[in-house]
Structure formats: C-alpha cells, structure tokens
Structure 1
Amino acid sequence: MSLLHDYLGRIGFTGPVEPTLESLRALCRAHALAVPFDSLGAIDGRIRLDEDLLIDKLVTHRKGGACFENHTLFARVLREIGFTTTVAGAYMWRPQHREYSSVLAHMLLVVRLDGQDWLVDVSFSHDTFIEPLPFDEQPHEQRGWVFQATRRGVDWVMSRRGNDGVAVPLYRFHPRARPVEEFQSALDYLASPGSRSQVMSTLICARTLPAGKLTLINKILVTARPGEEHTRKITGAEHAREVLERIFDGHPAQAQRALEIWRARFDRAEPTTPDPAVETAPTEFEKSANW
C-alpha cells in the first residue's frame, strides 16, 4: 500500500484528495482530530525526524507525537498530494518567563495555493487553529478563538484571543523554509546535558476535540472550549487514568505508557497545604465539556 492510502486510513479521511483549499481544510481537521499530541517520545528519548520512522510510528503503529513529528509527516503527505509546502520554525512564548524560547520549539507549515499563503498548524499542545489560516495580518476566528499573525520586524507573532478579549502570544515565527535537520538539532540540544530546558522531560498529552481540547501538563489539566480555558489539578492516579484514556481514545498503548510515567512521577501523597491558585475540584465547565 502507498503512504497516502495508509495515511488517509489512519486519520479516517474519505473526502476528495486534491491540491485545493477545500481538501486542505478537511485534511487538516481530520489529522488534528485523529492524532494525539504527546511528549512520550521525548521522555523516552526516541524522537528522530526520519520520515520512514515517522511513518512507522504515526501511521503503521497509529501512535501520536509532538509537533515536529506530526508536521514532518504531514508536510510529506501534502507534497505527495501536490501542495506546495514549506516547513517553518517558531519560538514558543514562555508566559512564566515573559519571553520566547531561545531555540526552535515548534514547527508549522506554510502552504501556497493560487498565489495565497496559508498557515497550517495541526499539532500544538493547546487549542489552536486546526484549519489553515490566510497568512496575513487580519484577525481570523476559529472554534471561538480569534487568531492573528502580526509582523514584528523580520518575524511574525501568532496570538490567540478568547472571550476575555486579551490577546496572548503563542509563538514567534518566520515563514522561510527550514530543513528538517535544523529541528533535529534543536531537539538534540534540548535533550543534552548542557540545556537547562525542562521541555523534553515535561509530560504533555493533548487531544483536539470537535469543540475544544484536553491538555494534560504534568499534574495540570487544561480544558479548552470555544474562547476559554480552565485549569485544575489532577487529584490522583485514577483521575489521571480517566483523563489519559479520553486523550488517547483509540490509542490504548499510549494511554498506558503515559499513565506509567504519571504514576512514577506524581502518584504520591499531596502536600498538606494546597495551592490556592489551582482548582482541585471538578468545575461545571469540565463536567459539561464535550469529551
């Protein structure tokens, strides 16, 4: 079987496959909904951006992966269909430090169609645009959020605005083409003893839903619905298991591996003094979420 045939089966796509905007939108949405985002490969020390390895992992064995993995594979698929596709890199906004990452920490794609560039981002830890955005400086609404790319010197900043009206940076990027080897070098550096970054050891598991997103970051669950996010602390191993099974629906081996990591790191007695900034009880928002 061909890669394209197997890939389309992996994401459950049955629509027309041709280099048109309609097909691009449908393919982006199908990939985002079908393939989980996770950092399990980074934690296990096995992220290699070799296309054959990614096909085996994401398609043959039906696993999820990080943005570098998803977008490297997705770029290959789009090119096979006939889309003119560029791999671009981004520096992630670090809200706790009020600065962008110092090395490439995100991959996105730029697809050119009929003289117009479109931004593609089907794999991100938090709720983001899952259908292509026109590459311009206009605000564009998707799933209750307003996304906007704004030029900042030679670079661009992608921001997201929710129901509160506050625009928050997601990442800083430049649309120029970058070789995949540049992202592999960034991964290798982040995993090296000389890097003080904790990104490669952070447990991140996320799944895009038709009307929102679930993201587990270590002991914190982020529940996104149109235009808003809520966070609360995972209360124990049983709660972690429930959340991970929802995130990895249809991917039982990944759910089990993520739970093993969570238990090894966090399944211990909670501090006697809770953090007042983090909710620990289920909210009405979470109870009503469309899982």
Structure 2
Amino acid sequence: MRVLLQFIRFGWGQALSCLFPVVIFASLAITKLIPIPWLPRYDWLLLICLAMQWWMVHSGLETRDELKVITLFHLIGLALELFKVHMGSWSYPEEGYSKVFGVPLYSGFMYASVASYLCQAWRRLKVELVRWPPFSMVVPLAAMIYLNFFTHHYWVDVRWWLSALVLLVFWRTWVTYEVGGTRYRMPLALSFVLIGFFIWIAENVATFFGAWEYPDQSVSWQIVHFGKVSSWLLLVIVSFLIVATLKLVKDRQTPASKDISIQG
C-alpha cells in the first residue's frame, strides 16, 4: 500500500508539473475537432498559450525567474522550427496570421512547455543533483547537441557520438527527488531516456491533432518513427542542462536559496 501511495503521489506531482503541456494538447484537440470562428486555428492556439503563460505567472505557479528560462526555450525552439521547416523536415500546412516563414508562433510554446515541466517538477519534487560535472564540460556539450540539429543537414549526423559523450560525462551523476517525505534517486542518464520517450509519445498525440506534419503524414496520419526518440532525447538533454545550469548560477548568486542543491 505504501508503494502504491508513493506512486500516486509521484504521479500527481508529475501531473501538476505537466499543466502547461496538458493545456497545449487539450487546445490542439479542441481546435481540431471544433472549428472556432473569426481567427485561423494557429492564431487561436497562440492566444491560448499566451493566456496560459500569463495565468501561470499571475497565479504564482511559475516564478518570474522560471518565466525567463521558459522564454529562452521559446526562442531556442522557434529558431529550430524556422530552420527545420525551411529544410522540409516537417511543415505547418494550415493558414495563420501569426505564421513567420511558414512557422506559427505558437510552436515555440511547445518547447517552452518542456522547460515549464522541468522547472515545475524540479521545485515540486525538490530535485537535487549529485556529482554534477563542471561548467567547462556541460556548456560545450549542450551547445554541440543543439548545433547538431542544424549541422547534420550539411555534414555528418553525430547524434550517436553525442549520446555516447553524454553517457561518458554523466555516468557518475545521479538525480535525487522527494516523494511523500522520502528521497529516491536514479541515474541522470536514465531520467533523460524516460523523459525523451514520453515526449515521443506526446509527439504522436500532437501530430495526430495536427500540431505539425511530417512528410510521411501528408496523406494520412501514422505513428512517428521510433528513431525520433533519439532526437527528443538529445533535446531533453539540452533542456535539462540549460535549466540545471541556470538554477546553479542562481543558487550561487543567492547562497541561502533552497531551490537546488548540487553535491560534489
């Protein structure tokens, strides 16, 4: 019974942390099934995301510091979207006033929702990192992973080499978290894989409701190739490294903060 209770507590904490992504998925489904007048669907999605972001900050669910992190992810994601759509990796076939070079601005919020989840879960589960590598290793690794999303179109795709490098850099790093007053831990690399896998599942839901469209989905929807898990895995790693680095910088600026603990 205690194991079941702890699992329910953990699931509830995860569900609360996923509030922003859930709203996005619900909005995708509703606007797909029920046509809304006056504006194209992509524009309604942008307005819903803006309203949700305002409400989360205004209600105190997100802090202003977390909003800065989420805004950074919005810009990083939007830059990636502009490039990938230009290269034909996927497309947004519907009309919209808020589309820039074929990319609707609401798409940046899908990346921002990943950052929102990380920030929320970090705070709710009282996440701590054990044996976190130095900045000199973490920052270049995150930069190389992000750049590979662009450079592999012109050069060799080194994602598997980068994945191996992640294992090498973080093989001694653990993430600990608290559920119901009890602390648990798991290898950080395993947490990357789990989050990446669940985002791949979310990607299938998103494409089913027309969030975007891969070339092989232009005629009819089909499951996203499982190989995309590797892409989401690397994106999660970039997201996690940025959030962890910014929280570490914040913690060093305010030593009394309990927001994060990095143990050597």
TM-score by length of 2: 0.29
Hey, which of these two has a bigger chunk of strand by percent?
1
Hey, which of these two has a bigger chunk of helix by percent?
2
Higher relative contact order (CA 8 A, sep 6+): 2
TM-score by length of 1: 0.27
